[in-house]
Structure 1
């Protein structure tokens, strides 16, 4: 019977109700939590993710691969004394410098060791020649191998969201089928120079942020995020839903660049490969297709040059 329970505080009804005492939870729930922290300090916020990526790159730390479920990257090996020295001089992020035992200590070796020591965060490892041969699959490493950690890509949504949070209209470059890492590095450099908020590349059949792309970017890759999209068409459609105009560069575009009136607003500029241009699905997704007038008679421009031309025009309009 209800009145004969051996446990006086035990619930004897299936009806839900308040427990005996709240332990102060209600009072604490009414207390304020203070001012809202800035976006860079909010867990999971796009600006925090972008800031963390930039900080890790600036410190030369391994990045641990792409974010948000993307395919995991792999380390890259830069081999040869000249290549290793150039990569260190250009600020390519690295975590291990392998040096062959009893190596001939010429000027390039001494300078590479000095750069690695000054930058910090790069471990120096001495290894026998057979081990370096195995690591490089028999390439002519000349006794020096630099390990570059996987690049940590941003998510395409983060680029527009971070720009909006800064009170700015997004200016983003998307590459469709550009397979030359040097072209990617040149686009990243132009985007950083003209106030772009990031570069988007497809996951497949496209150049990634290799050591070659890092060198061509001349350090800009440490200042501007590069995002990788599993499906570029869907990423562009997501930008359109966020209020961003998608403009594709095409030799048969309906509008010339100087006639385009959307560059001073939120815009994604899509650039295809020099040979094939935009793929069919990407071209159909674009809101506008624009061409760069070339009175000199050239048939096309490579992605790096085309990006520089359009980004300069966008920067001029926004100024």
Structure 2
């Protein structure tokens, strides 16, 4: 638990998932250690979202997965959710995955004595997009099937492995092979990630804090860009005195400062001066959203000097809810 706590402290984590699978989850001592650590972290970190993920089978989960539930109950430990991974185990599409979730729902009720609604509220699912390790196929339509089930039954978690695979291979089917960097199905970038965004919209978290970017004078009519907002292609925002249009789905990509070129610069708003970014007499390197910074790193952004409090990547100085950057004043 102490080692995990160091990670929580360093990165200001809001959530943590314990992925318990082969071969470790066949070791009862190891399972007790992991569950005990999760329980300590839950107790010592108010508001930390703790989830436990284990293997999925057509019957919900297997013998060792049931041991995870039984041991959690014996410890008096109730995480925010128990999730299963319904893939790599003889599944065939979304219908078989939702059937497994129903079986797992029954296991949760029987193990913990929960009502049906309470069991659903403590249940989650972790999917695999496209072609699985075992050659099962889970295209976008199957993700929609599971999303419909998750939202209609009030599941508390809907996620997948992995965002890094949420892109099309070349050729699209990857010659019938599974890849760790693409999905092996025909798709546009981030199609599977959009399902998780829809799930978040079905059970909204607390409203994100407003952007701290100071409004620019002039006649910008587009809403200000916010790093916490998910934008679809064609969305328009104002940022740094310019109007920008999203080319595709995006979240957290700073207009004018991302390697993918997500945003099209439509020019300065009428009457707005064009900011210089680093501006003034700044001698520090300009902030870059694709660069990983360690605590103590200094950058220039929007005419100010900034110091990172801890490791960060993609968090815009002055415009993130975690307050990663210390504003050292204007250049």
TM-score scaled to structure 1, two decimals? Answer: 0.23
Structure with the bigger percentage of helix: 1
Larger RCO (CA within 8 A; separation ≥ 6): 1
- Structure having the higher Rg: 1
